[in-house]
Chains A and B, each alone.
Chain A
Amino acid sequence: MKPRRPILRISKLRQACKALPLIAACALNAVPALAAQSLSATDSALLEKVSARLAAETAVNQHFVQEKQLRVLKRPIRTEGSMLYRREQGVCWHTQQPVVSTLVLGEQQLRQINGNDELVLKAEQQPALFGFTRLFFAALSGQVNTLAEHFQLRVSGDEQHWQLDLVPQDMLLQKFIAGMQLQGSARVEQVRVTGREGDITQIVFSPFPGGENLGDMERRCFVR
């Protein structure tokens, strides 16, 4: 028999442990942008425009493909589904492949729907998870102001094809996320999250497929 490798690799475990408190770290509400952004005048003008354009959307329907590339996995974890954003109601993340599940983030609660099971998390019960989810969905739906509070922003390109590079400012967030990249035009079209250990999560949005019944999905997400 070949000698076994030590089962518990302390260094990796420590790394894992360090990553855990991050959940607690990500927390935010929609707030005015912090002033301390070092943007040039043209960049800042572009950012304004992009931000204004994204903020003008009160309802967004997208199809998404998410791929998580983790070093220990032979192939990326791929999920596919639809995202609905309604300014007044929140974000609905409806995964269709490989399993069907729905996640709805409202103002004060997070609903998780798996088949007939529905789990409602109130913001006050799970503030950390709630905060993280908000941050994540802020990126997906392009709420630049919210992002600006936790990340340093760099904008490039033009109004039709812009790219936002985000570097986390928050100490604990830095431990986990190396950077984030948003690309788009009138909407966010692609999101790329780079982890500290080289893990990459990529989400590509495409127009909402015509075949699906939007009304049904809206009801499932936003009507209780």
Chain B
Amino acid sequence: MFGDWFGPINWSRCSRYFYALLIVTSIALVACWFGGRGGIETNMLALMPPAERDPVRAQAAAQFDATLARQHIVLVGAADLATARGAAQDYAKALCASGAFANVTLQIDAQQQAQIAALYAPYRQRLLSETLRARIEREGSSAVFEHALGALYSPITPVSSAMLDADPLLTFFDFISAQNSARGNVQLRDGMLVAEHDGLFYVLLRLQLAGDPFAVSEQERVIPALDDAAAKARSEGARVLDIGAVRYAHEGVESASGEVNTIGTLSTVAVVAILLLVFRSPLPMIASLVASAVGFGVAIAACWLWFGPIHLLTLVFGSSLLGISIDHCLHFFADRMGAGADWRVDSALQRIFPGITVGLITTIIGYAGLYLTGFPGMQQMAVFSCAGLTGAYLTVIWFYPVWIKRPAGPARGPWLRYSEDLLHALRPKGRHWLWLLVIPLSAFSFVGLQRLHANDDIRTLQPVSPALRSVEKQVRDITGVQAGTQFFLVRGATPQATLEAEEALTAKLRGEMAAGRLGSYDALSRQVPSVARQRDNLARLRAALSDKAALARYIEEIGLEAKVLDNYADGVERAAAGPDLDLERWLASPAGQPWAHLWLGATSGNKAATGAGAAQGYATIVALYGVQDTSALAALERGDARWHFVDKGADISKLFQRYRERGMALIGMAYLLVYLFLCWRYGPLLALAVMLPTALAAALTIAGLGWLGQELNLFHLLALLLVLGIGVDYALFLHEDEDLSASTMLAILLSAVANELSFGVLSLSSTPAVRAFGLTVFIGVAGSALLAPLIVDLKTMKWLRTRA
């Protein structure tokens, strides 16, 4: 039916196209490999679409991720502090010797701290802590004196003569005290950060990775170094906990590459075994492997050309591609076995060509749906699968004719007869009993659908092992630090405007802290106030000093030598003409380095996305800790365009929801497209009949997921697209084969089994997303194959025949 478009085709002449395909593919593979487009990507985030459309927000999110990703936290614990310190020192030494890390921080150098304080010292008259500033704003400039008196009278302020001499109003002392970087339960003890938990002392080490934790090469360097150092510390009787992005990434790669092997091996072995069993000859198996191999090569070449490095997960899915690409070969060999000694390759291809071509097109329509999701990972899989399938298809129609010319041997086996029997059983004898199935199935589906709920929470899809989760929890409990995924992005036209915006924001954040909705925050403006704020601080100090009466009272009250304050007041006057503390210089200094990740620098904004006002500027991050009330913080975003609340976890979940909803529309569209394509070929009624088994199977699948208690997410829906692509083929083949030959039925059964073997294995995956995908395809394909014979029943209905 399809061949009539081209007239009789001289199949054996097509082999030259095949050789051309091989050459082009090889050249593409080699060129990509050496041209730097080849390779394998393992960063799971690369599969995600950008959560932010605004480029600055996307950059902020990426930088926040990158900074977090390179940090690694280690706790070395022991029953007494001395042992813990010793073990931590040895651990640090071992790691430094390994060279796997860019930076290993164990000791906090007192000298360095003094340096940092000295760096601020020349600007000390311009620096006021946020708390003191707020008090001055509230109570007037006399608050400066009251604050100093409070500090002097307080039993807990460690004031010394030298301090009072240089800083008689204790404002600089107050500013420096607020700079403290320790947080949570972690405290500085003799140069090391120590936390105490459950009777053990833990020394905290901060490591910084030299490279990208998602790169396999980096993991191979870092993980053994960590494990060796930990083993050494454990032999000294210490306990070691370490956590960081590289651990998660490594685990992901381990399980994924383990799955590539398992899924690939299992499906290959099973498919090979079935081919040998059914065809009783190694040729179909070898020919299928050749077709799959060519498909695989074409798929990788296409992905490299299209996207650059291919993602590991794409390969995981790709390994199951074997199951689908084999369909074409199955039809070819089933036909060869069915025809016996009279078989000729030209007429065989003429027979199967229409079926496998329409099948390929419908499958590609299904996969094209994957591409339209806009999900980078899904797009790769779509291109990979379409290219791979086409490659395998072309191998069958272009290469098989010159390779396999002889008919099959006499050994046929019982399988063809079994298919024959099955067809007989299905062939209607007056009554269309198969249709009775539709009613209970619809009822089943309807009830199942009621039970289905959606859940887009990213955490349920994240494959983190219980062991790793337990380490994560212990580290959190011991340190008392909850590293959040929430932060504010602050923007301004100039660096100074950005700092000023930060100051406006942090004033609000302090309100949230006081109300118990926020634990703490990190902001650059706390370390380096904006120039405007610095000058204002200075002005406030001068205003306080100009109140001679208050000054005299202060001097009198504490018995300070008058010249100390005279000197100080002179210094403040001189400072007015002095320089401001410069952000750029501070960032480059040792004081600025620990905070550099909060500075995003100049951003080139996207005019179209953000409007003319924010076309270009600067941005900083205000990191949040211990967020108790997300919605209250998110509400701060309203009313001021200078800052945005970013919640990475929630954003990704929202993203999944958006794509899931879009996915529903896409499924509808894909089914419609396939239907339109079939209409063009068969007319509207027959097309409907061909579609019916798959559509029913899809409904059954969704209902089945509901019955199984699965929570619907994006990955279920993507799998449904695949079900469409694969499932419609079965009805199609049965329909295209006018004579309803046993060989067609056999090919369909084999194909269904092969598909189940490859996707069935996916439902055993440890990655919930992959599992959801596998399970859906498993039910859908089984349903499609079992319901496909409905078409046999349908075709015999008189009213349909007359109308078609």
Interface residues of A (CB under 8 A from B): 4-5, 7-9, 12-25, 27-29, 31, 34, 36, 66, 68, 70-77, 79, 93, 95, 98-99, 101, 103, 114, 123-129, 131-133, 136, 140, 169-172, 175-176, 195-199, 203
Interface centre among B121, B161, B559, B570 (most CB of A within 10 A): B161
Residue from the list A13, A14, A74, A124 in contact with B183, Cβ < 8 A? A124
A166, chain B: closest CB distance, angstroms? 15
Contacting pair B191 A171 (CB below 8 A): yes
Contacting pair B158 A129 (CB below 8 A): no
Residue from the list B150, B163, B558, B571 in contact with A16, Cβ < 8 A? B163
B556, chain A: closest CB distance, angstroms? 10
Contacting pair A133 B156 (CB below 8 A): yes
Measured in the bound complex, the distance between the Cα atoms of B162 and A173 in whole Å is 16
Give me 21 A-to-B residue pairs in the complex whose CB atoms sit less than 8 angstroms apart, sorted by A's number.
A15-B160, A16-B160, A16-B173, A17-B117, A20-B117, A20-B163, A20-B176, A22-B158, A27-B194, A66-B155, A72-B168, A73-B561, A101-B154, A124-B480, A127-B185, A127-B186, A128-B182, A132-B156, A170-B190, A171-B190, A197-B162
B744, chain A: closest CB distance, angstroms? 71
Sorted from nearest, which 7 A-B pairs have the closest CB atoms?
A: A27-B187, A17-B117, A71-B161, A15-B162, A74-B559, A21-B113, A75-B559
Contacting pair B185 A70 (CB below 8 A): no
Known: A28-B189, A101-B150, A133-B156. 8 other contacts (CB 8 A): A7-B567, A13-B118, A16-B173, A19-B163, A79-B155, A99-B150, A128-B187, A197-B161
Measured in the bound complex, the distance between the Cα atoms of B559 and A70 in whole Å is 10
Interface centre among A93, A133, A172 (most CB of B within 10 A): A172
B136-172 near A? 1/0 per residue, CB < 8 Å? 0000000000000110111110111111111110000
For residues 604 through 642 of chain B, which have their beta carbon under 8 Å from a beta carbon of chain A?
626
**Given A34-B81, A199-B161, do A172 and B153 touch, yes or no (CB 8 Å)?**
no
**CB of B80 within 8 A of chain A?**
yes
Residue from the list B80, B121, B480 in contact with A13, Cβ < 8 A? B121
Residue from the list A12, A18, A170 in contact with B165, Cβ < 8 A? A12
Contacting pair B153 A99 (CB below 8 A): yes
Measured in the bound complex, the distance between the Cα atoms of B555 and A74 in whole Å is 10
Residue from the list B164, B177, B190 in contact with A20, Cβ < 8 A? B177
A150, chain B: closest CB distance, angstroms? 9
**CB of B184 within 8 A of chain A?**
yes
Which residues of the other chain, B, contact A170 by a CB distance below 8 angstroms?
Answer: 189-190
Contacting pair A131 B81 (CB below 8 A): no
A37, chain B: closest CB distance, angstroms? 13
Measured in the bound complex, the distance between the Cα atoms of B130 and A177 in whole Å is 29
Contacting pair A176 B160 (CB below 8 A): yes
Contacting pair A24 B188 (CB below 8 A): yes
Residue from the list B110, B158, B520 in contact with A132, Cβ < 8 A? B158
Contacting pair A70 B166 (CB below 8 A): no
Which residues of the other chain, A, contact B198 by a CB distance below 8 angstroms?
Answer: none
Measured in the bound complex, the distance between the Cα atoms of B162 and A198 in whole Å is 10
Which residues of the other chain, B, contact A23 by a CB distance below 8 angstroms?
Answer: 158, 177, 180
Which residues of the other chain, A, contact B559 by a CB distance below 8 angstroms?
Answer: 73-77
Measured in the bound complex, the distance between the Cα atoms of B182 and A175 in whole Å is 20
Contacting pair A124 B567 (CB below 8 A): no
Measured in the bound complex, the distance between the Cα atoms of B479 and A123 in whole Å is 12
Which residues of the other chain, A, contact B568 by a CB distance below 8 angstroms?
Answer: 7
Contacting pair A129 B184 (CB below 8 A): no
**CB of B439 within 8 A of chain A?**
no
Residue from the list A19, A77, A127, A203 in contact with B182, Cβ < 8 A? A127
Contacting pair A21 B161 (CB below 8 A): no
Total cross-chain contacts (CB, 8 A): 179
Which residues of the other chain, A, contact B188 by a CB distance below 8 angstroms?
Answer: 24-25, 27, 128, 172
Interface size class of B (residues with CB under 8 A): 35 or more
B153, chain A: closest CB distance, angstroms? 5
Measured in the bound complex, the distance between the Cα atoms of B161 and A73 in whole Å is 8
**CB of B549 within 8 A of chain A?**
no
Which residues of the other chain, B, contact A124 by a CB distance below 8 angstroms?
Answer: 183-185, 480, 519-520, 626
Measured in the bound complex, the distance between the Cα atoms of B193 and A24 in whole Å is 10
Contacting pair B184 A70 (CB below 8 A): no
Which residues of the other chain, A, contact B665 by a CB distance below 8 angstroms?
Answer: none
Which residues of the other chain, A, contact B189 by a CB distance below 8 angstroms?
Answer: 25, 27-28, 170
A135, chain B: closest CB distance, angstroms? 9
Contacting pair A103 B156 (CB below 8 A): yes
Residue from the list A31, A73, A95, A103 in contact with B560, Cβ < 8 A? A73
Contacting pair A24 B117 (CB below 8 A): no
Measured in the bound complex, the distance between the Cα atoms of B566 and A5 in whole Å is 11
A220, chain B: closest CB distance, angstroms? 17
Which residues of the other chain, A, contact B183 by a CB distance below 8 angstroms?
Answer: 124-125, 127
Write the chain A residue with the least CB distance to B563: A5
B101, chain A: closest CB distance, angstroms? 25
**Given A31-B196, A72-B161, A124-B480, do A103 and B571 touch, yes or no (CB 8 Å)?**
no
Measured in the bound complex, the distance between the Cα atoms of B571 and A13 in whole Å is 13
B541-584 near A? 1/0 per residue, CB < 8 Å? 00000000000000001111100100110110010000000000
Measured in the bound complex, the distance between the Cα atoms of B196 and A127 in whole Å is 13
**CB of B425 within 8 A of chain A?**
no
**Given A8-B571, A13-B121, do A34 and B82 touch, yes or no (CB 8 Å)?**
yes
Contacting pair B150 A98 (CB below 8 A): no
Measured in the bound complex, the distance between the Cα atoms of B81 and A138 in whole Å is 20
B144, chain A: closest CB distance, angstroms? 16
**CB of B437 within 8 A of chain A?**
no
Write the chain A residue with the least CB distance to B111: A18
Which residues of the other chain, A, contact B194 by a CB distance below 8 angstroms?
Answer: 27
Contacting pair A74 B567 (CB below 8 A): no
**CB of B588 within 8 A of chain A?**
no
Which residues of the other chain, B, contact A14 by a CB distance below 8 angstroms?
Answer: 114, 118
Measured in the bound complex, the distance between the Cα atoms of B520 and A28 in whole Å is 21
Contacting pair A7 B571 (CB below 8 A): yes
Which residues of the other chain, A, contact B158 by a CB distance below 8 angstroms?
Answer: 19, 22-23, 132, 176
Which residues of the other chain, B, contact A75 by a CB distance below 8 angstroms?
Answer: 559
Contacting pair A16 B560 (CB below 8 A): no
Contacting pair B113 A24 (CB below 8 A): yes
Interface centre among B156, B159, B166, B190 (most CB of A within 10 A): B156
Contacting pair B150 A172 (CB below 8 A): no
Contacting pair A77 B558 (CB below 8 A): yes
Which residues of the other chain, B, contact A131 by a CB distance below 8 angstroms?
Answer: 187
For residues 83 through 112 of chain B, which have their beta carbon under 8 Å from a beta carbon of chain A?
110
Which residues of the other chain, A, contact B187 by a CB distance below 8 angstroms?
Answer: 27-28, 127-128, 131
